[in-house]
Structure 1
Amino acid sequence: MRTIDKRLTAKLAPVLVKRAPTLTLAFDARCKSRLAATLDHGEEVALVMPRGTVLADGDMLVADDGGFVRVVAAPEDVLIVRAPSVRLLTRAAYHLGNRHTPVEVGAEYLKLEADPVLEDMLRRLGCIVGHESQPFQPETGAYGGGHKHGHDETFGEDYALAQKVYSEHHGHSHDHDHDHEHEHEHKHAHDAHDHDHSQCGHDHSHDHGHDHKHKHDH
């Protein structure tokens, strides 16, 4: 049995890509680093990739004997989400993101794995949801998680721009979208304490002896 353990980052000549045997996998299988698989022509192989690898349609792999294998994204049951306005489609993407749902983003649609609960939520938002059998290739993540594919040439630039814009506009204010909204104005009188708030995730539950005045507008 051959072992497939490398992915090419360099482009191959089209004739080599065309001649390579194919390995058709659904999204869940393309996320696995260890997998017993069968090439489309019937050969059984062992897929051994670095942990965290997510294979994409068109990726070229190399077996331990030097042979090439081309990845094909298998059609699977997905939801195609459309909306009568860009704003509504953006809201749908926001709510799916809040649930850490893998989503493929198109020019005028969102695509996700079929899920009756999410389908009901999307319809309640006013979206138009349809079932189709299509390959599924969701976004790889905007915070450095997941795998960056070779064809994601603008991923780094997009991420840097997003961080810059966020820093410029939200560096000193935080807007949270909850079922209820609270605006808090906190005034702290510090006598002799210097606090370094550069670390995220620090615990504010300790007592610093502050004089706190809270004004709550509900």
Structure 2
Amino acid sequence: MTDLPPLNRLLKTRPDRCDGAVILDYDGRMIRRKRLTTAEGRGFMVNLPEVTNLDAYWGLELTDGTTLEIVAADEPLVEVTGDLPRLAWHIGNRHTPCQIEGNRLLIRRDHVIEAMLGQLGASLRHVHGPFTPEGGAYGHGRTMGHSHGPDMANGHDHHHHTHA
């Protein structure tokens, strides 16, 4: 099977016609320059001007007009239930990506965060599914770090305090 031509542009809406799909996990959807493979096994190159989070895009258009949809892959997650506002605050305080739904939170499996949430009274259940966490408050799409103002220019030297 031959490779496909390279990426021409990202599509901000789902293509009317999809010639295939690219299935990527959360980490895989953060790209700049990378060879991707379609679900059908055909490879192609992506070379973007900057690191880009593909969560906000519904498709890819290749130089020959081929259109591909981006699909979030199933991955191992933890379903968190309980006092969701309080639990979400603690998850966010650890800069942990979190998918917020009406009756649950979803995070990637992490035994340290799971232990902390258990101590806070959360109910935890291992599940599999696509992971599409909330984007950052200071921009669109995925958080790419954060800043607490100009005093933080020399690094991330601060503490997050929790009060009981």
Q: Check conservation: 2:13, 2:57, Cα contact below 8 A.
A: no
Deviates more, 1:55-64 or 1:114-123: 55-64
| Pairs aligned (count) | 145
Give the whole-Å Cα distance in 1 for the aligned partners of 2:59 and 2:106.
Answer: 24
Pairing partner for 2:100 from 99, 105, 108? 105
Structure 1 residues 54 and 89: CA distance shift in structure 2, 3 A: same
Q: Secondary structure of 1:51's match? A: strand
1:126 aligns with 2:125: no
Number of the residue aligned with 1:188: none
Number of the residue aligned with 2:39: 40
Larger strand fraction of residues? 2
Q: CA deviation at 1:145?
A: 5.3
Q: Secondary structure of 1:95's match? A: helix
Q: 1:70-101 CA deviation, whole Å, 9 max, x = no partner?
A: 11110001111111xxxx21111111111111
Q: CA deviation at 1:20?
A: 2.2
Larger relative contact order (CA 8 Å, sep ≥ 6): 2
Q: Check conservation: 2:80, 2:124, Cα contact below 8 A.
A: yes
Structure 1 residues 10 and 179: CA distance shift in structure 2, 3 A: closer
TM-score (normalizing by structure 1):
0.60
Q: 1:107-154 CA deviation, whole Å, 9 max, x = no partner?
A: 11111111000001111110111111110001111111545xxxxxxx
Number of the residue aligned with 2:55: 56
Give identity over the alignment, percent.
33
Q: CA deviation at 1:56?
A: 2.3
Structure 1 residues 43 and 136: CA distance shift in structure 2, 3 A: same
Structure whose alpha-carbon radius of gyration is higher: 1
Give the whole-Å Cα distance in 2 for the aligned partners of 1:129 and 1:111.
Answer: 10
Q: Check conservation: 1:24, 1:71, Cα contact below 8 A.
A: yes
Deviates more, 1:48-57 or 1:24-33: 48-57
* Structure 2 residues without counterparts, runs of 5 or longer: 143-159
Structure 1 residues 119 and 180: CA distance shift in structure 2, 3 A: closer
